[in-house]
A = this chain, B = another copy of it.
Amino acid sequence: MNHVALIAGMGPDAGADTLARFLRACRRELQAAGRPINDQAYPHHVLVQHPIADRSAALLQGGASPVPGLVGAVGVAKAAGARTLGIACNTAHFWHGELQALFPDLEILHIADETARAVHRSGARTCAVLATAATQRGGLFRRALAAHGLDTVAQSPGDEEAVHRAIFAIKAGRPEEGGPPLRAMLEQLLDRVDSVVLGCTELGLVIDADPFAGRVVDAASELANALAAKAYGTYPTHTSPSPQPTEQP
């Protein structure tokens, strides 16, 4: 089994939630292989959580760069023996290319790439994305989805701002404040498009994608699934295109 890692802390609860999704994905891998589930059947993994500067503030307000924090965490994961990594934060993927270039011997999964493949597999034609304002304005998912021929419906600036505020309420320990507007927005979007991407790892803390039967794709789950497949050596060879490198907004 391949040693893997999750770079977490963005936010910490979302990282722990992504870890739980990874472990569920590991159980599905074991079940698919007809192997028994026990403590010893899971791959080596580490979760590394360093305080990392706010990604949205860096992109939209010229705040401190998250790169030093990210590099430190990836370095710890590398030293721990991980060879494939997932970053449990969508907005952080604006620095994916920079991180990957700094660690050429590691494989750093791209959350939007994994998610776009899942949306494409679902047969959807039109999509919308719930995400931070920085993720939206930089087109992190719009580009990845376009590479698979998928159209992304834009939200109004007001709606985008409301989603962003709700995400930061969850980060501030107030999921009961962030959850209701996010669930209401999701329902509105599902009336307009085939598929809605939960493009921020905080969203899975207040929205369960499972009951929506494939119409809601949680990026955290897709990252977790890909990481488990890398760990067990079942990651598919993709024939579909990878999205273009993402520029910062």
A contacts, CB < 8 Å to B: 9-13, 16-17, 19-20, 23, 26-27, 30-31, 36-54, 76, 79-81, 171-173
> Knowing that A11-B38, A13-B20, A31-B173 are A-B contacts, what are 10 other residue pairs whose CB atoms are under 8 Å apart, sorted by A's residue number?
A10-B39, A12-B26, A37-B172, A40-B52, A40-B54, A41-B51, A44-B51, A45-B49, A46-B46, A48-B80
CA distance A31 to B172 in the complex (A): 11
Task: Say which residue of B43, B44, B48 sits within 8 Å of A46 (CB atoms).
Answer: B48
B12 touches A39 (CB 8 A): yes
> Which B residues are CB-close (under 8 A) to A12?
23, 26, 39, 42
Instruction: Give the top 9 A-B pairs by smallest Cβ distance, nearest first.
Output: A37-B173, A47-B47, A40-B51, A11-B39, A12-B42, A76-B80, A16-B20, A16-B19, A37-B172
Q: Report the nearest B residue to A39, measured CB to CB.
A: B11
Please give the count of copies of this chain that the complex contains: 2
CA distance A12 to B172 in the complex (A): 27
A36, A37, A42, A53 pick with most chain B CB within 10 angstroms:
A42
Task: Say which residue of B26, B41, B43, B52 sits within 8 Å of A39 (CB atoms).
Answer: B52
A117 to chain B, nearest CB (A): 25
A-B contacts, 7 of them at CB < 8 A, read A9-B39, A16-B19, A19-B47, A27-B173, A37-B171, A39-B171, A45-B49
B51 touches A39 (CB 8 A): yes
B76 touches A42 (CB 8 A): no
Q: Report the nearest B residue to A46, measured CB to CB.
A: B48
